[in-house]
A and B are shown apart, each in its own frame.
Chain A
Amino acid sequence: MRHRTFLAFILPSALAMLLFIALPIVSVAVQSLYVEPPKVLVTVQSCTPFACTDDVQVDERATAELRKKHPLGGFNGLGTYTDRAHLAFGEIAGILGQNTGFADTLGRIYNLPFYRALAFTLAYTFIVTPLAIMLGFSIALAVNAVPRAIKGPVIFVSLLPMIITPLIGSLMVYWMINSEGIIGATLQWLFDDPNLYLKASPTLTWIVIFLYGVWTNGPFSFIVFYAGLQTMPLDTLESAMIDGASRWERIRFVVIPHMSPLVTFVALVQLMDNFRVFEPIVGFNSQASATSLSYFIFSDLNGQFSQLFGSAAATSMLTIAGVVILLIPVLIRTWREFNRKAA
């Protein structure tokens, strides 16, 4: 009976999830196995205001016939996953077979577009997530300590980075770090180096995007931890005070253990969020120095007039795989905690 009630309770959401989450993923997975149908090319004369030339054009009739026969396109199996634009098995095998040492191997793998994007995505995820959690936690502690009268405004200001649309936020920071902008110009003056351009070197670009990520992700952790702090049992804190614990010891041994389930939750959400980093890449015009998996999908779908659906689908599936791998440790931890409580 209990199970039946539970089933009836979640059935609508389960159906909606099946329709709007599972089915699209299946469709993307199927799409990733296909490439565009072969195009039939013909050479025809084309005349423009400047000249007449013999150009190759797509024979639309013959191509349309082919498309009718194969509406999904040409079957490519896992070929798209292993090509140079994705996992690049052939290229990796070549690099591993012939190289001049570890640095060379790494450098050449990093040169492959998918791994370049993956490297930045992982670095962003693993640097920004813990820093943003720490920032959020310290803001929560600080806000919890300010007098009641100014709490409202302080909370509002702390939440601002989250209220600003990520693309707008990154554009704002982008113009501030421009050599003409307030931050860029100040840094040039401080370091007395007119050649200091934050956007010029890949390393500095990465650091700036990480800092931006921490700034924009901090408020989410803050709001969750702040809510958590309101549930803090005061008597435990008071007894710790009577035992002579300092403020730091109280945080370390009372507050943090109390908040640890929340940390798991925040880490889960933030890992997923950060793994699909996208807006700062566009906002900071950083394609030359930093790209991410999501940007990769975007550029396949937003190419020069031709969309590569198969390629974008394969990257999407790889991104989903990446998120699953990232979340496994957190999920195992949650599962253990659940079992321990149940026992």
Chain B
Amino acid sequence: MRNMLIAAAATGVMLLGGGAARADCGIASGTVSILSNDFDALRVLADEAKACASPTVKVTANQTAAHKNLQVPALTADPAEYTVAFVANNSISPLLGAGLIRPLDDLIVKYGQQLQPNQLIKVGGKTMAIAFDANSQHLFYRKDIFDKAGLAAPRSYEDVLAAAKAIKDKGLLQYPLAAADKPGWDLGAEFVNMYLGYGGSFFEPGSAKLAINNDKGLSTLAMMKDLTHYMAPDFLSYDADEIKAVYMSGKVAMMDGWGSYAGAVIDPKGPDPEVAKGTVLAAAPTVGGGTTPAASLWWDGFTIAKHISDADAETSFRVMMHAMRPEVAATHPDTAPWLIKGFKPGAAAIGVIATATDGAKPYPMLPYMGLLHTALSNEIGAYLQGNKDAIKTLADIEAAYDASAKQGGYLKD
């Protein structure tokens, strides 16, 4: 009887120990709540973070595409509604501008041994965010169709146009091209990519004054329009998710798609194995004889709210370090091009890595870039429909941006 009692007690201890080991992130207690956008890579990290939950450590995550509207009000509250906010190049600006996130340097010294220098997002010498993956739009094309048409791999947008014409003329596909040209967010992003490819800069140095009204802006618009001649006539109603679906259904031969879609597109178990097999992931093409790929590079990372207790900040940081450990990247190689230490890129990351090594520029991390992005999206649609010329379009973009930059307090009359 006594032996049995001891055995039972031992089992109990073992069970407890086992339970602790399963959720063992080495954290005694605390509260972690995550606000993030909603796509595969972020879901993986949030799930890993939730694995740290225990009776004394509470971990929750709100993953929603509406995060951009929630983040500022939620982190302005004191105490903040979330302890961790996942951000990217553009979404970190409003948090920085309102002083809602805290420098992470002390926590990195204590708990961030696994981090590599290029993961640290530094602003004015302080580390304000930690990046975990990279992303960009790049070229997806169907090698099988290119072979049928006797075409070589496209390196520039001029090649893309020539290839599209050849594929159309040979009767292989009626509309060989797809790009996310829906006004809202996507259309603005296409302009940003192409304009960076022409080597343009968006603002006058050191100010919020717009500087796109130039030859590079005109060339950008002209190229965007030339490309639409090879797209389905309702190209203005497709966003990035929808062109991915169109591409995966085999209706087009080339698309300017997001690196984060590559895993699904080349998955041989996908809807059309022929598309998956024929797809080549290539760097974003150059344009106008330049050498910079017409794409913008993005990073995703996490920040920690300022208006929370230091203890919760510490817990949050440690939970995120646990979620970002090298094994996580190794188990999900095709989910994203991780920036995590020791990551060996999978087949799906080739396009993004090629775009980055070819020297693509990052999407500007500027507080008023979002206002320009909105102005671009709103004004370019009418141009692509043929309702106004390029010069007028650039003037309209500038006028629309000026009006909202004054509203936002970035420009004075």
Contact = CB atoms under 8 A, between A and B. Distances in A.
Nearest to B362: A50
B313 to A, nearest CB: 18
Interface string A299-334: 101111111101100000000000000000000000
Contacts of A144: none
Given A57-B93, A84-B399, A111-B382, 9 more contacts: A36-B408, A50-B297, A58-B93, A84-B403, A113-B400, A285-B239, A299-B374, A306-B94, A311-B404
A125 to B, nearest CB: 22
9 contacts: A41-B410, A46-B121, A56-B206, A63-B98, A284-B237, A288-B384, A305-B68, A305-B72, A308-B407
Contact of B120 (A44, A47, A91, A299): A47
Interface string A58-70: 1011011000000
B365 A302 contact: no
A304 B90 CA distance: 8
A48 B69 contact: no
B140 interface: no
Contact of B385 (A46, A56, A285, A288): A288
Nearest to A64: B99
B370 interface: yes
B152 interface: no
Nearest to A41: B208
B367 A85 contact: no
A306 B123 contact: no
Contact of A285 (B68, B72, B237, B392): B237
A276 interface: no
A169 interface: no
A339 to B, nearest CB: 46
Contact of A197 (B134, B233, B297, B382): B233
A34 to B, nearest CB: 10
Interface in B60-99: 68-69, 71-72, 89-91, 93-94, 96-99
Q: What DSSP secondary structure best describes chain A's contact surface?
A: loop
A53 B361 CA distance: 11
Interface string B358-402: 000110111101110110011001101101100010001001101
Which of A53, A58, A301, A302 has the most C-beta atoms of chain B within 10 angstroms of its own C-beta?
A58
Given A39-B367, A57-B96, A74-B409, A46 B122 contact: yes
B58 interface: no
Nearest to A309: B407
Contacts of A73: 409
Contacts of B412: 38
A219 B201 CA distance: 53
Given A39-B409, A49-B134, A111 B364 contact: no
A177 B384 CA distance: 21
A194 B233 contact: no
Nearest to A85: B403
A35 B408 CA distance: 7
Interface string B234-252: 1111110000000000000
Q: What DSSP secondary structure best describes chain B's contact surface?
A: mixed
Interface string B118-131: 11111111000001
Which of under 10, 10 to 19, 20 to 34, or 35 or more describes the interface residues of A? 35 or more
A103 to B, nearest CB: 13
A294 interface: no
A197 B238 CA distance: 13
B183 interface: yes
Given A47-B121, A50-B299, A305 B409 contact: no
Interface in A139-182: 178-179
> What are the 6 closest A-B residue pairs judged by CB atoms, nearest first?
A304-B370, A288-B381, A58-B97, A60-B99, A200-B233, A44-B124
A138 interface: no
A111 B412 CA distance: 25
Contacts of B402: 84
A72 to B, nearest CB: 12
A50 B122 CA distance: 12
Interface in A24-56: 35-39, 41, 43-56
Interface string B187-224: 01000000000000001001110000000000000000
Nearest to B235: A200
A202 interface: yes
A83 B234 contact: no
A57 B399 contact: no
Interface of B: 68-69, 71-72, 89-91, 93-94, 96-99, 118-125, 131, 134, 174, 182-185, 188, 203, 206-208, 232-239, 297, 299, 339, 356, 361-362, 364-367, 369-371, 373-374, 377-378, 381-382, 384-385, 387-388, 392, 396, 399-400, 402-404, 406-410, 412
A75 to B, nearest CB: 12
A179 B91 CA distance: 35
Contact of A41 (B207, B235, B388): B207
A83 B183 contact: no
B121 A288 contact: no
B213 to A, nearest CB: 15
A288 B94 contact: no
A220 B97 CA distance: 48
A35 B409 contact: yes
B407 A36 contact: yes
A60 B97 contact: yes
Contacts of A305: 68, 71-72, 90-91, 93-94, 370
A289 interface: yes
A46 B123 contact: yes
Contacts of A53: 362
Contacts of B370: 303-306
A36 B409 contact: yes
Nearest to B384: A288
A58 B407 contact: no
A299 B376 CA distance: 13
A37 B185 CA distance: 26
Which of B90, B91, B118 has the most C-beta atoms of chain A within 10 angstroms of its own C-beta?
B118
Contacts of A85: 400, 403-404, 407
A299 B184 CA distance: 8
Contacts of B119: 49
Contacts of B408: 35-36, 39, 306, 308
A53 B364 CA distance: 10
A239 interface: no
B234 A199 contact: yes
A287 interface: yes
Which of A44, A46, A301 has the most C-beta atoms of chain B within 10 angstroms of its own C-beta?
A46
Contacts of A301: 69
A195 interface: yes
A52 B117 CA distance: 12
A321 B239 CA distance: 34
